[in-house]
Structure 1
Amino acid sequence: MQKVTLERAKTLEPRFPNKSTGVFGGQSSGILNWNDIAYPHWYKIYKRLVGNYWQADEINMSSDVKQFPTLSEEEQDAYLKIIGLLSTLDAPQTRTALLISLYATDASVQSIMAVIAQQEAVHNESYSYVLSSVVSWNEQNESFQLGRTDELLMKRNELLTEQYNTFVENPTIENILKTLVYTSLLEGMFFYSGFAFFYNLARQNKMVGTSTMISYINRDELEHGRFITELFRATLAENPEHNNKEFIQWVYDHFHQSVELELEWSHYALAGVEGIDMDELDGYVKYRANKMLRMMGLEELYPEHVDNPMKWIRAYVDNVDGTKTDFFEQKSRQYTKTSDLNGFDDL
């Protein structure tokens, strides 16, 4: 199969129709009429994303400032490591979202990715905000250095880093699909053991300001994950030559590798933290991987982990569910109806 390098989408091309003929490599004028787009239900996603607007400094951190010194050594260590992890993942998401939008020939995708990029920038700012509230500048800086100094964290992020950089160097449909796979993993699975840690603190009435901020980030990431999985499915459906056993096996292999790396990292970062059952956390990570695979239209990798083993997390944030349906074999109206069924359930 010939791998054609994509060109960046033209800003305006009046000879082409307003409704794009393809999400990547298609033809579009660049003029966006939300009432005339290829995937009409994406307007609802855009509206939900815009409705989630928030700013980090709206969150009162005064109680967290007093509580942080009272946390156990294990809790303080995990707090700093996980903020370091989250900042390492969210910082490049702003650039990745913008890069994907540069090659998108569907103006609705460009607009949605612009909102996602802005929200990822807010997320990264929020990590600076919470750390500046509770620790010294030197400790803040040390936490933000973990992504380039902690051997286990670098190992955990190596495959994602490699794929993101490959997309920069070689923007083909295949690499866009693979980047969307890793973005789905990031938005839907990589963050979640870290989120669980902060929610575990909150259920003990500790660091409630931080957990409130995390719940806002979590809500955003759920919407990002929903859209990225839909974009993956649309791209794969429009480029059926990539919908083959080799590529699907690549997806399963990289999901499996990512789960194993996440489990290794979680045991390292959360060792000795009171209230975290590591067996439950392992099941939760696999449960999240299964959920993202379903949203991508694929089979589950871990059939013994179809239910959430940490149901108490539901008290902190709702979740976007995904169902395994052959969406893109159906008409747009049927697709929209099916998408509407993908409502909120337990995290």
Structure 2
Amino acid sequence: MNTTTNTLLTRVKVLDPLNPNRATAIFGGEASGILNWNDLKYPHFYKLRQRIRSLFWTANEVDMTQDVKQFPRLEPGEQEAFLKIIGLLATLDGPQTDVAAKLSAYVTDPSVKSLFATIADQESEHNHSYAYVLSSVTTFDNQVKSFEMGRRDAVLLKRNERIAQVYNDFAENPTVVHALKAMVYTTLLEGLFFYSGFAFFYNLARNGKMVGTSTMISYINRDELEHGRAMSDVFRAAMGENPELNTAEFTEWIYDAYRHSVEQETEWSRYVLEGIDGIDPDEMEGYIKYRANKMLRMLGLSELYEEHTDNPMKWIRAYVDSFDNTKTDFFEGTSRQYTKTSDLNGFDDL
């Protein structure tokens, strides 16, 4: 990776009128800071922001009346898993607001700044939602215990080591490379890390339990799918502007990040969902690999798990919004057939 992409980025000025309104690059470019949505380098980002804004909701709109009555009647294992999984989701979603803001501080393109600000606002509401759910159904002591999970549970600490490392590397050493790596891990959070937890709540709901919480989770899930799409598209655009990074080395770093994340998510799911009636651990592992394949395709990469191209948990479709597997995007005029390759697909065509 060359010296340019390893050079520290500087915080972008709020206004720099000598520069053009239309940004010249996402990172390290020139832009005045004046945002004209009708004159963008990537008009697609306007559509992304509109899609995300159309999903606006707030936690206190969800009726938790029945959940308040049902939580004390859950099986002890279900109660424990409920608190642990809320703790996981809060641990992952809390930093997402800050990561979007930190990335935005070094983004030249004001349309991307606005997109990240919209994502950050929704992530903040997600974190509020977990506190809202807990305050509705359990004691303050249990609420605190759940939120302490990210600092104290050994399995969760191990699971989150690389996430923390990659995010903190960017915070402490903001280069283009570290920004791109942070975006890769954001796609992992939005498209993979949450999903065994989401499945737990959907499984409760299909058995008539905690439907209010499941409704809240489905709203969050829908947001995360859009955030994953947006972050993947910004990542691919930034890669297109930095073709020197389109190397086997960087591609393998991404694949390794996904392999490791699948292993950690699988280990976590077997730990936290052990003994939960209605969720088969092997099916859950297959679903995690299926989600990894989908997110890799969105990044422009080929699938890692060829035997997991279909969703093995068919029942979950009733709760999860899904992208069209053959969708086209703003980089391509036709659907792409992804094949094994050592390089990231599509960036040279931007």
Q: TM-score range by the shorter chain?
A: over 0.9
The reply to whether residue 141 of structure 1 matches residue 144 of structure 2 is: yes
Who is 2:278 aligned against? 275
Distance 1:155 1:115 in 2: 30
**Contact residue 44 and residue 330 of structure 2 kept, 8 A:** no
**Contact residue 156 and residue 262 of structure 1 kept, 8 A:** yes
Pick from 3, 9, 27 the counterpart of residue 12 of structure 2.
9
Give how far 1:216 is off. Answer: 0.5
Give how far 1:51 is off. Answer: 1.0
Who is 2:27 aligned against? 24
TM-score by length of 2: 0.93
Who is 1:229 aligned against? 232
| Change over 3 Å in CA distance of 1:234–1:253 after alignment to 2 | same
Who is 2:223 aligned against? 220
Distance 1:38 1:242 in 2: 21
**Contact residue 160 and residue 182 of structure 1 kept, 8 A:** yes
**Contact residue 167 and residue 176 of structure 1 kept, 8 A:** yes
The reply to whether residue 161 of structure 1 matches residue 132 of structure 2 is: no
Who is 2:266 aligned against? 263
Pick from 197, 200, 206 the counterpart of residue 200 of structure 2.
197
The reply to whether residue 206 of structure 1 matches residue 209 of structure 2 is: yes
Who is 1:344 aligned against? none
The reply to whether residue 128 of structure 1 matches residue 134 of structure 2 is: no
Pick from 214, 234, 252 the counterpart of residue 255 of structure 2.
252
The reply to whether residue 187 of structure 1 matches residue 179 of structure 2 is: no
Give how far 1:69 is off. Answer: 1.1
Q: Which stretches in structure 1 are left out of the alignment for 5+ residues?
A: 340-347
Distance 1:23 1:88 in 2: 28
Give how far 1:241 is off. Answer: 0.8
Counterpart AA for 2:111 = S
Q: Which protein is richer in helix relative to its size? A: 1
Distance 1:98 1:323 in 2: 32
The reply to whether residue 238 of structure 1 matches residue 241 of structure 2 is: yes
Distance 1:12 1:319 in 2: 39
Pick from 63, 85, 89 the counterpart of residue 88 of structure 2.
85
The reply to whether residue 305 of structure 1 matches residue 308 of structure 2 is: yes
Give how far 1:317 is off. Answer: 2.7
Give how far 1:48 is off. Answer: 1.1
**Contact residue 88 and residue 144 of structure 1 kept, 8 A:** yes
Distance 1:241 1:122 in 2: 37
User: Helix, strand or coil: the match of 1:304?
Assistant: coil
| Change over 3 Å in CA distance of 1:324–1:43 after alignment to 2 | closer
Q: Deviations over 1:60-112 (max 9, x none)?
A: 10100111111111111110000000000010000000111111101110001
Who is 1:54 aligned against? 57
> How many residues were matched structurally?
333
Give how far 1:324 is off. Answer: 9.2
Distance 1:338 1:16 in 2: 36
| Change over 3 Å in CA distance of 1:57–1:226 after alignment to 2 | same
Distance 1:188 1:140 in 2: 26
**Contact residue 184 and residue 225 of structure 1 kept, 8 A:** yes
Who is 1:112 aligned against? 115
Q: CA RMSD in A?
A: 1.5
Give how far 1:326 is off. Answer: 9.4
User: Helix, strand or coil: the match of 1:319?
Assistant: coil
Distance 1:181 1:27 in 2: 24
**Contact residue 42 and residue 108 of structure 1 kept, 8 A:** yes
Pick from 105, 117, 122 the counterpart of residue 102 of structure 1.
105
